[in-house]
A and B are shown apart, each in its own frame.
Chain A
């Protein structure tokens, strides 16, 4: 039952073959087997949101998912958000307005918000606070994260071809 199984995982545009026990969490496989340590683990029970990644483009908790469930799905992690060395508009805005402190919650927040802005280019503050309510941040009080999301959304809209 716990004998390792071999599976292939499509992560950030590359396919990786891993051999892991069926009970191994996706968060652990990403971090330990694939070396993608940008996905953080804050609770392992689905509350804090630090482990948020995109599964087929939708935000999901990597700590509530087994890696063996992920064959045939397309995974995106924080490591694939920047454009090469260039920070994404959201990353840039978080930097400029001091939307992060210890940075432990930050990758999860970036994944949640990045997916949302794709479909909701002009969110208001209430909507943003609602969106962020699935991600805990113990450091910032969220105020500057909200500010960064507003700024990033404006930047993305400005960049979009008219």
Chain B
């Protein structure tokens, strides 16, 4: 409440600007803006998980009417440079990849050749006519076989498949084990996911031979970094490349990297001197765009008899797939850094291994650290189970309280302005645990499996440059913005983010409006065009609000200062003290009251642009302000999820009876948009925990290349989510913003597993892997039955 009170534009639940065009079917997604007649691109993909390319014969494909050309990795290598990732990080091997594979393919779906043709239908026909001779190689389809001695190497330039290995230790784990009543080991296996944006990847490249300039239209989260990649790998300067992102049908982390297909399309447009359009189909998206997660964690908690964790050890192994589009330590590292989150654990160690396998490469997916809260709160639940303690009490005894803050975690990360203890209590009281326990006891008497889960999340939202530096991850966390008041008083603004469905146009206009002192309706925010937007780091993680909104807010405040300096001159005042802009009008403080001055933003703008000689001393003409801002090393939001389930032991079906989230994500710019992000994140988390799974067989064949195989939750499988807002501002960010949108996934994965295990507790079995599919639940119930029979016999 107190957070919102001091703002006039921030905090309003304004419906979104972009809605109208989407609702009318007038959105401009990439395929909607491709002019008729543009040639189409289609890729031939490897049928093998691991094989040498012995020869490619494209004679028949080239002869097909309508085919413009067929190209291979060798061709592309002449026009592009390889991607080399070699950040100076201890334990991380440098890697390099060509634009398309030349000597061998590394996973089922690896692009082998590319066809350009008159239309997509002909291009697909031509792909079928390309003959490739392969020599299959032994493949490694999981981390265990990849790490086995003598395993086939995915990347033959490396000594083995362990592409990244880091460890860390703080405190004295051996001493803590010695003191402990028990050491409790728990396993967490999060399966391979993929992002499934409803709009797959695609791009249109147009090389202008006359200007020697590439225009790349592509749905991307990060226009400027992508431009840099494109320019670099095509041997162009950044002035020769414009990246434009039209409306984007979802991304969730899948539209950050410059993919090989996209680079190939750009290079071919330049080579052929004509615009080219590529749209991947759903099978390609599921098999070959980007995968995520597939992380196995083992924790060992040294605990006292009362459940207090004295020391915690983490072993993490991530199956990274075949190619590194990101430094291989990138996602796993964050998990290890923030694992202890809401709990007070000073003695902590981790060992993090990232392994190459013959699968599609991993990348960040909404909540790259998704597994974190499951691992931490799942460990606490294991402690409670093993010691026969109450799960809430075990959380309380380990929880960081307000008095502990700011708290430096064992890894050196500093938590400040979080309220994880408060959201825990908020969720516990909202769900009424004692009433639940009574219901649960009755249900158990009837032989029904009913469970309650809790999961507290500390979500790393905005990564400042200092975090990257300290964590040994290359990157910058700053953002850039400009605000322009046009001569008419209209307000244009821009920032380096690019939305992919979040609805930035409205909340970011609110951030500008708040900083400047106008109403949000008068502000238009331009994004996704590298010649218009300032160079920013784009949209990733949950940085949109703090980095994007915060930078715009600060920039707009700077613009307001200039407006008021000009106003002071027009009012014959010495300076702007006692002036403010509200709703586009200059007001002056008289005693305790703000009085109108009769000046509006348009009057000021007219003077700034059209009568500059009348401006006060040292005030330059125009109203065009820009600013860059680097957020604190890290900002955190927090939440506690609670969920009640009933399991049908005969079908394995999990019925979610109640789901709530008590959340603190700081100052909320637009509650409507934030609520949408909360719903969407919980939905994606639950969908992943319950259904989704990229499946490879032991020969590395991908068996989940349709949406009938890779299952995404529909409306009937998801619960209604109750949200309890418990927001408090961050004191070190502009306007107190914290950021959000990924924590919902972390919480959902953890809470559903914890609830299921609570339900299964009477059977003496525990779910340790995902998805929590009916098959898996049935297998656990069968295991329990068999255990019982065995004990019965004995």
> A residues touching B (Cβ–Cβ < 8 Å)?
21, 23-24, 28, 31-32, 36-45, 47-48, 50, 77-79, 81-82, 87, 91, 94-96, 98, 100-107, 110, 128-130, 132-146
A102 touches B500 (CB 8 A): yes
**Which of B23, B249, B679, B681 contacts A104, CB < 8 Å?**
B249
Q: Main SS of the interface on chain B? A: loop
**Residues of chain A with a CB closer than 8 A to B24's CB:** 38, 78-79, 81-82, 87, 91
Measured CA separation A79–B23 after assembly (Å): 9
**Which of B16, B25, B198 contacts A42, CB < 8 Å?**
B198
- Shortest CB–CB separation between residue B223 and chain A, in angstroms? 17
Given A95-B15, A102-B248, does the pair A48, B718 have CB atoms closer than 8 Å? no
20 more CB-based (< 8 A) A-B contacts, given A141-B682, A144-B675? A23-B121, A38-B25, A42-B200, A44-B281, A45-B282, A45-B708, A50-B198, A82-B23, A82-B24, A98-B673, A100-B19, A101-B680, A102-B199, A103-B18, A104-B199, A132-B714, A136-B198, A138-B712, A143-B683, A146-B715
A142 touches B676 (CB 8 A): no
A140 touches B676 (CB 8 A): yes
> Which one of B26-34, B171-179, B343-351 contacts A?
B26-34
**Residues of chain B with a CB closer than 8 A to A45's CB:** 282, 706-708
- Shortest CB–CB separation between residue B284 and chain A, in angstroms? 11
Q: Can you identify 28 A-B contacts, CB atoms within 8 angstroms?
A: A31-B31, A31-B32, A37-B25, A39-B25, A40-B198, A44-B282, A47-B707, A81-B25, A82-B24, A95-B23, A96-B15, A98-B16, A98-B503, A101-B502, A103-B19, A104-B197, A105-B198, A106-B23, A133-B716, A135-B714, A137-B198, A137-B715, A138-B196, A139-B198, A141-B679, A142-B714, A143-B720, A144-B676
- Shortest CB–CB separation between residue B725 and chain A, in angstroms? 16
Q: Is B436 part of the contact surface with A, judged by Cβ < 8 Å?
A: no
- Shortest CB–CB separation between residue A140 and chain B, in angstroms? 6
**Residues of chain A with a CB closer than 8 A to B282's CB:** 42-45, 48
Which of A31, A45, A103 has most chain B Cβ within 10 Å? A103
Measured CA separation A81–B24 after assembly (Å): 8
Measured CA separation A132–B18 after assembly (Å): 23
A100 touches B198 (CB 8 A): no
Measured CA separation A121–B716 after assembly (Å): 20
Interface residue range, chain B: 35 or more
**Residues of chain B with a CB closer than 8 A to A146's CB:** 715
A94 touches B19 (CB 8 A): yes
Q: Is B721 part of the contact surface with A, judged by Cβ < 8 Å?
A: yes
**Residues of chain B with a CB closer than 8 A to A41's CB:** 31
Within 8 A of A (CB), among B664-687: 672-673, 675-676, 679-684
Measured CA separation A130–B681 after assembly (Å): 21
Top 10 A-B residue pairs of the complex, sorted by shortest distance between their CB atoms: A38-B25, A102-B501, A103-B22, A141-B683, A104-B249, A78-B25, A141-B679, A132-B715, A37-B32, A47-B707
Q: Mark B253-293, 1 if CB is under 8 A from A, else 0.
A: 00000000000000000000000000001100000000000
Q: Is B36 part of the contact surface with A, judged by Cβ < 8 Å?
A: yes
Which single residue of chain A is at the shortest CB-CB distance from B744?
A141
**Residues of chain A with a CB closer than 8 A to B31's CB:** 31, 37, 41
**Residues of chain B with a CB closer than 8 A to A39's CB:** 25
Q: Is B758 part of the contact surface with A, judged by Cβ < 8 Å?
A: no
> B residues touching A (Cβ–Cβ < 8 Å)?
15-16, 18-27, 29, 31-32, 36, 120-121, 196-200, 247-250, 252, 281-282, 500-503, 672-673, 675-676, 679-684, 706-708, 712, 714-716, 718, 720-721
Which of A28, A44, A98, A138 has most chain B Cβ within 10 Å? A138
Measured CA separation A104–B197 after assembly (Å): 9
Given A32-B36, A100-B19, does the pair A140, B683 have CB atoms closer than 8 Å? yes
Measured CA separation A38–B684 after assembly (Å): 25
B721 touches A141 (CB 8 A): yes
**Residues of chain B with a CB closer than 8 A to A110's CB:** 23
- Shortest CB–CB separation between residue B118 and chain A, in angstroms? 12
Measured CA separation A145–B22 after assembly (Å): 14
A138 touches B721 (CB 8 A): no
Which single residue of chain A is at the shortest CB-CB distance from B18?
A103
**Residues of chain A with a CB closer than 8 A to B673's CB:** 98
- Shortest CB–CB separation between residue A48 and chain B, in angstroms? 6
- Shortest CB–CB separation between residue A14 and chain B, in angstroms? 16
Given A138-B250, A143-B679, does the pair A47, B198 have CB atoms closer than 8 Å? no
**Residues of chain A with a CB closer than 8 A to B500's CB:** 102
Which single residue of chain B is at the shortest CB-CB distance from A32?
B36
Measured CA separation A97–B282 after assembly (Å): 30
